[in-house]
Chains A and B, each alone.
Chain A
Amino acid sequence: MAGDIHRIYPYNTPMRAAVDPKSVRTVWISTLGGTVVWLAAIFLAPWLAGRGSGSAARFVYAVFSPVCHQIPDRCFFLFGHPLAVCGRCLGIYAGFAAGLVLYPFVRGFARIALPAARLFVLLTLPLAFDAVAGILGLWRSPIGVRFATGLVWGTILPFYFVTGVADFFRLRKERAASRALEQAPQKKVE
C-alpha cells in the first residue's frame, strides 16, 4: 500500500515495502567489486615489490598507510615481502568480503535491515579484547589470532554498509519525489 512507504519502523525490525531490490543489488555488486579491488591491492604490493617495481609498490603501500601501521612483524608475507596491511586488517577485509558473499542468502535484496546492536557488540568483543590486551601489554597475540578476530568483526560490517548505502539512495529518491510534488503547479478544480 502507498501508505506503507512513509511508515516508520524501529531500527531493529525490517523496513518493508520501501526498497527497490534492483537498487540494493546494485549497491551490493558495487561494494563487492570495490572489496575485490581493495583485497587485490593488498596482495599486489608485495607482488610488485618482489618483481622489483619499487615505485609502484611504494605507492600501493602508501595507499594503505592511513589505515594500518604496516609493522612487518605483524603482517603476513608474500613473495618475501609483507602484505600492505597487518594480519588484523587483512582479517577485517577478508571478513567483509565473506559477509558480502553471505549477504544475499542472509538478508536478500527485497528488504533492508540493520543488524541488532547486541550482535554487533558480541562480534566486536573478541577484537576489542585482543587489541586492548595488546596495547596494555597483557599479551602479544599471534598473527593468526589477530586475523581471526578481525575476520569475525569484518563479517558483520557489510550488513551495515550495504544497508546504509542502499537506504541513502532510497532517501534521495523519496526527498526528490516530495520536492517534485511540492513544486508541481496546483491545479484548480472547477
Chain B
Amino acid sequence: MNPQKPEYLRPALIAGAVAGLLSGLPFIGAGNCICCLWIVGGAAVAAKLLAAGTPVLLKAGDGAVVGALTGIVAAVVDAIISIPLRSFNLGLAQRIIDKATELGGEMPAGLDQIFNGSSGMLSPGWFLLSLFVTAAVFTVMGVLGGIIGIALFGKKGLPPAPSARVAPPPPPPGPSDAA
C-alpha cells in the first residue's frame, strides 16, 4: 500500500504569506514577540488547512513539513515587506527603546549603532544574512506550530474499513428452492 502524500505547498503558501505579512507590518508585527505568535499560529493554521484538504489521516511528521514550509514562506514575505517599511520600523523600535530607557532600563549593547548606522540603508549582504537567520528561526518555530496544529486540528481517526464489517449470512433456502 502506498501511503498518499498530502499536498503541503498550498496550505504553507497561504498561511505563510499571511504570517509573513503580519510579521512585517508595524505594530502588528510585534505579535511575534509573544512566543512567535504569527509564525507558530500561522503554521498551526497551515496544518488545519492541510487537514481540511486531505482525505488521509495526517501524522505529526506531516505537521512538521507543512510548518517548516510555512516558516520559510513567512520569512521571505517578511523580508520583502520589511524593505519599504524598514525606516518606519527602525524609528518605531527606537521610540520603544527610548521609552524603556526612560523607565530605568538599559539599551542593549550596540543597539544605538544599529539605529544610527542603518536607518534607510541596507546592504545586500546584510539583507541576505538577516533573511537566512530569520528563515532558520521561523522554520523551527513553524515546525513546532505545524505539529501543534496537527495535534489540535487533525482528524482523530478514520471510519472502519469496509472489509472489517462482517458480511450478513445468506438467507436460508425457501420452500421453492427445495428439490
Task: List residues of A whose CB falls within 8 A of some B CB.
Answer: 6, 8, 10-12, 15, 45-46, 48-49, 54-55, 57-58, 61-63, 66-73, 75, 77, 80-82, 84, 86, 88-89, 92, 112, 114-115, 117, 120, 127, 131, 150, 153, 157, 160-161, 163-172, 174-175, 178-179, 181-182
Contact = CB atoms under 8 A, between A and B. Distances in A.
Contact of A167 (B32, B64, B100, B101): B64
Interface in B134-158: 134, 137-138, 141, 143-144, 146-148, 150-152, 154, 156-158
Contacts of B130: 62
Contacts, number: 154
From B33, B60, B103, B107, residue with most partner A Cβ within 10 Å: B60
A167 B61 contact: yes
Contact of A58 (B33, B59, B111, B158): B111
19 contacts: A10-B157, A11-B154, A45-B108, A45-B109, A57-B108, A61-B109, A62-B133, A66-B138, A67-B33, A67-B36, A71-B97, A72-B108, A73-B105, A75-B105, A80-B106, A81-B108, A114-B151, A174-B3, A175-B2
Q: Is the interface of B mostly helix, strand, loop or mixed?
A: helix
Contacts of A63: 133, 137
B111 to A, nearest CB: 7
Nearest to B39: A67
A72 B156 contact: no
B38 to A, nearest CB: 11
Nearest to A56: B110
